[in-house]
Amino acid sequence: MKDYIDRMTENQARQFRAAVLNIVSQIPRGQVTTYGHIATLAEWPSHSRMVGRTLRYAPEAPDLPCHRVVNAVGRTAPGWSRQRTLLEAEGVRFKPNGHVDMSRHLWEHFD
């Protein structure tokens, strides 16, 4: 049982952000992954919210496919309708409820 919380030092926060950007840059075209999964791959589980923050305030780099990141149920980022357009252009299918068909496009970072 966890009776205390590990807090990030500034240096760890820097590495965390770098790891997030690195992971996102590896998402294959036509596939998506989740904030929580990225946090886990970055070795900081439970920091899914920080992943979202990192991407929201990250500089819009052309080589950073942050549009391939959705939440656990496949919902796209609020206030960014263009994300769906970008994904559909890659062949990503959306279900009638407006969510990405995760069973078909979820990227698990297989090596």
Partner DNA sequence: CAGATGACCGCAG
Partner DNA sequence: TCTGCGGCCATCT
List residues near DNA by CB under 7 A.
5-8, 13, 34-37, 46-53, 55-56, 58, 66-67, 69, 71-73, 75, 77-78, 80, 83, 95, 97, 99
Closest distance between DNA and the C-beta of residue 7, in Å?
Answer: 5
Minimum separation from the CB atom of position 17 to DNA (A): 8
Cβ atoms within 10 A of the Cβ of 5, count?
6
| Residue number with CB closer to DNA (73 or 91) | 73
Decide whether 37 or 105 has the Cβ nearer to DNA: 37
3 vs 111, which CB is nearer to DNA? 3
- Identify whether the C-beta of residue 70 lies closer than 8 Å to the C-beta of residue 77: yes
Smallest distance from the beta carbon of 2 to DNA, in angstroms? Answer: 7
E strands along 1-111, which residues? 33-34, 69-70
Least distance to DNA, CB of residue 29, Å: 17
Among 45, 51, 56, CA closest to 83? 56
- Burial (CB count <10 Å: 0-12, 13-18, 19+), residue 32: buried
Residues 42, 17: Cα–Cα separation, whole Å: 9
* Complex with DNA: residue 80 or 89, whichever CB lies closer: 80
